[in-house]
Structure 1
């Protein structure tokens, strides 16, 4: 293999599909909301969403409204899109026109969404967020009744569909997550007493979704695991593999070392040097140094300019996964993928 002139992130459709199938089977009967924030964890949100929609995923979580709008163009009208960051009025308007479900975590944002839906003659699909103790916005217990009542009044006027409740978990301990779930379920129960029907209830993200089925609702939000990124210091996941590998060519053979065309300019953390192995035609070799535009790797017999080195991937050539690299420097696998700059070409297979 040859022809590379710089680093390439190769995303594999078959692996992404297999990961989605494994997650879907694991979480059933809950429905999967596939989260594609941070440009699909660096792989490309439009590509990932097209593959996932074709594989039958019916919900996508996008964090921000502009990403949701991009995905609406990619996946068409059928899948549900959920954007949960508090947004500007112009973005709210665009979301309503594109029929994006909105996560609402403050009374002020709720009022603004209702006002924009009323002005446009649109219907806002709203998921109210419960503050379950993490304090990443969300309506407090003191605000919950007011929020539900306001949404229901707007629903009666034809401007809102109150369709869901959601929250985040700290995932710091089982005890804390149990307490958060109890607060969440109390809020859902109270909403029912006030007259709300909330068919879509989602509390868990990747790690808790996988490990603690008793915390799942009718929806679960899973991002990293779909892309093959396991939790840092967490176990390997059956049926889940990295959906992309980062490869780069050998530029130079220098004695017992080779120089590879990828460096910190491309997004590789320089502190990985001396801590991990990469994959080569001869198997695993130590990553010795990372400069601005090149890295130095322990060499092998017969190494030649143009040989491909796999800097991270699925382990077929002895390389580490993104999460294993992350663990070596005290971070998470998502960062390894999301640090990669636009200078790194994306290739889809």
Structure 2
């Protein structure tokens, strides 16, 4: 494979420090799901640990165990797992587990009893409107009462209470925050006083002080990925971390056009929607993408002094005139994380600066 991904550690460090300053005194939970948003988990973790980050959100259990291997003393949180997942290793490794309903709570407690490990560390989730798993308000008291009973039995420790904000409107989020506070009061009435209360992800953490509580879960912003909708990384003070490059494999004439075939394609994760929607950079100028083939990206280099072996930058931080990830996402009508998380793990990730 000819393509390469460059990861700017300077940009990553800048974003971590910027986010921390913004959310203080709340603590940062760095979300590293999907191989650190396609940036390469091992390399990203090394930088985050060096920056003193001690809380990580890993989404699923395999990802959480990878993080635990590199961060043995950190809090590692996972909130998605399949019915077939073996919980015993996660419990032995003291992974904090997001619990979203009664069956999951009972399953985790049963696994803790069998595993002979310390009590399972769990975070109870209240659904405040996003409807992405969690217990509805009407069922919350029964849920926390069961959790309190299991905590008294020594099988679980409720270390967190959490939710996801829908981020559809300021008023909707205000109602969700109020509902979450009511949920906290109900939990406390049942003897649950979790040390980690978390409700906000990247956008809400930036925008709303009242949504920060003890911890905020920040993923995309750490990698310089903005939410889109007219808001780019530069508007938030963020720096894009990833640059994607690939060489020209061959050049041919196609009627009146000259097409260059670049050594990356759909099989490597480039979205088919890139054709006719985005451009790439070659020697300081931009050229349109005209087709996405399984192993090649065809670009129109008519009039350019292009040769086989020249390096094409698909996107970067824009400092050399190349398109940015935001340009690509906007051009295809999607979000930046959709672009980077699809990139093949077989593409080498190299840390720079």
**Structure 1 length-normalised TM:** 0.92
The reply to whether residue 96 of structure 1 matches residue 99 of structure 2 is no
Segments of 5+ residues of structure 2 without an aligned counterpart are none
2:165 alignment partner, one of 161, 169, 188: 169
Tell me the residue number matched to 1:318.
Answer: 321
In the alignment, the residues of structure 1 paired with residue 46 and residue 320 of structure 2 have an alpha-carbon distance, to the nearest angstrom, of 29
SS state of the match for residue 104, structure 2?
helix
Displacement of 1:254 in angstroms is 4.4
The reply to whether residue 304 of structure 1 matches residue 307 of structure 2 is yes
Tell me the residue number matched to 2:204.
Answer: 208
Tell me the residue number matched to 2:281.
Answer: 279
Tell me the residue number matched to 1:348.
Answer: 351
1:109 alignment partner, one of 104, 108, 114: 104
- 1:180-199 matches, cutoff 5 A: 180-199=176-195
In the alignment, the residues of structure 1 paired with residue 81 and residue 291 of structure 2 have an alpha-carbon distance, to the nearest angstrom, of 42
Cα gap change, 1:49 to 1:275, in 2 (>3 Å): same
The reply to whether residue 231 of structure 1 matches residue 227 of structure 2 is yes
Moved more, 333-342 or 274-283: 274-283
SS state of the match for residue 80, structure 2?
coil
In the alignment, the residues of structure 2 paired with residue 86 and residue 195 of structure 1 have an alpha-carbon distance, to the nearest angstrom, of 27
In the alignment, the residues of structure 2 paired with residue 263 and residue 116 of structure 1 have an alpha-carbon distance, to the nearest angstrom, of 44
Segments of 5+ residues of structure 1 without an aligned counterpart are none
How many residues are matched? 344
In the alignment, the residues of structure 2 paired with residue 342 and residue 126 of structure 1 have an alpha-carbon distance, to the nearest angstrom, of 31
1:261 alignment partner, one of 249, 260, 263: 263
Tell me the residue number matched to 1:339.
Answer: 342
Say if 1:66 and 1:91, in contact at 8 Å, map to a contact too: no
**Structure 2 length-normalised TM:** 0.91
Say if 1:230 and 1:236, in contact at 8 Å, map to a contact too: yes
Displacement of 1:198 in angstroms is 1.7
1:247 alignment partner, one of 245, 248, 251: 245
Displacement of 1:9 in angstroms is 1.4
SS state of the match for residue 248, structure 1?
strand
1:152 alignment partner, one of 135, 148, 155: 148
Moved more, 91-100 or 291-300: 291-300
Say if 1:63 and 1:83, in contact at 8 Å, map to a contact too: yes
Pairwise CA RMSD of aligned residues?
2.0
SS state of the match for residue 246, structure 2?
strand
In the alignment, the residues of structure 1 paired with residue 217 and residue 26 of structure 2 have an alpha-carbon distance, to the nearest angstrom, of 10
In the alignment, the residues of structure 2 paired with residue 54 and residue 115 of structure 1 have an alpha-carbon distance, to the nearest angstrom, of 37
In the alignment, the residues of structure 2 paired with residue 263 and residue 86 of structure 1 have an alpha-carbon distance, to the nearest angstrom, of 31
Displacement of 1:133 in angstroms is 2.0
Cα gap change, 1:226 to 1:210, in 2 (>3 Å): same
- 1:49-68 matches, cutoff 5 A: 49-68=45-64
SS state of the match for residue 328, structure 1?
helix
Moved more, 194-203 or 318-327: 318-327
